[in-house]
Amino acid sequence: MSKVAIITGSASGIGAATAVELSRRGFSVLINYSKSKEKAEIVAAKCKDALVVQADVGEDAQCRKLVKAAQDKWGRVDALVNNAGTTKFVKHADLDGLSADDFLRIYRLNVVGPFQMARACAPALKAAKGTVVNVSSVASLLGTGSSMAYAASKAALNSLTYSLARVLGPEVRVNAVCPGYVDTPWQHHALGKEGANKAAEHYSAMVPLKDYARPEDLAETIAWLIEGARQVTGETIFVDGGMHIQPPR
C-alpha cells in the first residue's frame, strides 16, 4: 500500500512541487486548496494518485475534514506538509501599515493552521510512525521578508515545530524548512513579473551560492525529511542559498 501525504496550500508554488515530487516517489497525495480549484486539479493531473480537497486550515473543523478525507480514501496518513500561508506586503519601517487584525489574520493561517493540522493528523501519524514538515522562512531568523507580521509568524512556526517534535516523538518526527527567495506565483502576484525578476537578481547577488531557490529545491528537501533523516527532528533546515549566514547590506 502506498504511503499518504497531505500537503496544505498545494495548488501552486512549493506545495504543488512537493505534491508532484512525493507522487513521483510513490506517495498518494491529498492536494489542498482554499480558492484555486482549477490550479489544484492541474497539480493533481501530474500525480499518480491524488485527491483534491478544499479547506481553510485556519478553521479546525476543516482541518479535521482534510484528515478524514485522506483516511476515508486511503486509510492512513504518513506525512503532513504544512505549506499553506499568507502575508501582507508592508515595509518594515511602516509601523502604521499593519493593524492588529493583520497580525491575527496572518497568525491564523501561518501558525494556528499548522497546529490544528498537526493535532488532527497526530493519531494517524503516530500509527504510521510518520512525519510533519512545516514550511517556514528565513525571515523567521532575520526578521525580514514581506512584513513584520509575516516574519513574526514564521518565528512562531519554528517554535511550534520544536514543541511538536518534543511531544509527538518518538513516533513522529517534526521539522521545518526555511526558504529564502523562491520563484513562485506568490512573488509574481505581489511584485509583478518585472519586480519578481529584479528581486531574484538581487537575492542571487547577495547570497553565497549566487542563486535563488525554485519550488523543486524545497520539494526535494521536504521529501528527504519525510523519507530519510531518521535521526532528525525539531530541526529548521535553511534552503536559502546561504542567506541566513550573509551579513546584512
Catalytic residue numbers, as ranges: 150
Radius of gyration from C-alpha coordinates of the chain: 17
Q: Which triple of cell numbers denotes residue 140?
A: 523567521
Position of cell 530541526?
235
Nearby residues of 115 by Cβ (< 8 Å), 6 or more positions away: 160, 164
CA nearest to 63, candidates 134, 8, 117 = 117
Helix%, strand%, coil% for the chain, nearest 5: 55, 15, 35
Instruction: With beta carbons less than 8 A apart as the criterion, state whether 84 and 113 touch.
Output: yes
CB atoms inside a 10 Å sphere around CB 205: 11
Residue at 75: amino acid letter? G
How far is the C-alpha of 152 from the C-alpha of 12, rounded, in Å?
24
